């Protein structure tokens, strides 16, 4: 339970910062950035949140169900643009995979040297 409390605490902290400081980032992204900083600085130990994160990752697909249902409900709006949407999704996926592979190979060669 401590892991969930820590994760929710960072989510809440991101929401507060977003509301108070009007930072132009989504609140959940702010919370994740703060959480990452806390992990890097060893304020939060990985062991504290590892079990809770594993549970959330194992059930991540459930979090996308509302978006899929919403997309199906708006299919009549999105329908005429289906081809450009599919092309952009496939194209961006290929670009992300290529950039990730390229950077990984460059960093791997740098690490071996």
The average pLDDT across 38-55 equals: 94
Paired tokens of 103: 């950077």
93 and 53 belong to one structural domain: no
Which of 60, 75, 101 corresponds to the end of one domain? 60
Q: What is the mean pLDDT of the chain?
A: 90
Question: Measured in Å, how far apart are the chain's first and last C-alpha atoms?
Answer: 43
Full domain range(s) for residue 91:
84-113
Residue 79 lies in a domain: no
Split into its structural domains, the chain has a count of: 2
4 and 56 belong to one structural domain: yes
Q: What is the 3-state secondary structure (H, E, C) of 59-112?
A: CHHHHCHHHHHHHHHCHHHHHHHHHHHHHHHHHHHHHHHHHHHHHHHHHHHHHH
pTM: 0.61
Residue 12 lies in a domain: yes
13-34 pLDDT, tens digit each? 999 999 999 988 999 999 999 9
Confidence of residue 67 (pLDDT cuts 50, 70, 90): confident
Q: Report the distance separating Cα 112 and Cα 58, nearest Å.
A: 33
Residue 7 lies in a domain: yes
Rounded to 5 degrees, what angle do the CA atoms 104, 109, 113 make?
A: 145
């Amino acid at each position: 339970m401590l892991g969930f409390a820590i994760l929710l605490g960072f989510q809440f902290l991101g929401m507060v910062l977003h509301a108070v400081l009007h930072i132009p980032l989504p609140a959940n992204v702010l919370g994740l950035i703060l959480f990452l900083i806390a992990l890097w600085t060893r304020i939060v130990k990985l062991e504290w949140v590892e079990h809770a994160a594993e549970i959330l990752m194992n059930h991540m697909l459930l979090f996308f169900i509302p978006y899929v249902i919403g997309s199906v409900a708006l299919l009549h709006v999105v329908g005429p643009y289906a081809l450009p949407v599919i092309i952009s999704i496939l194209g961006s996926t290929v670009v992300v995979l290529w950039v990730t592979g390229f950077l990984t190979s460059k960093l791997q060669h740098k690490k071996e040297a």
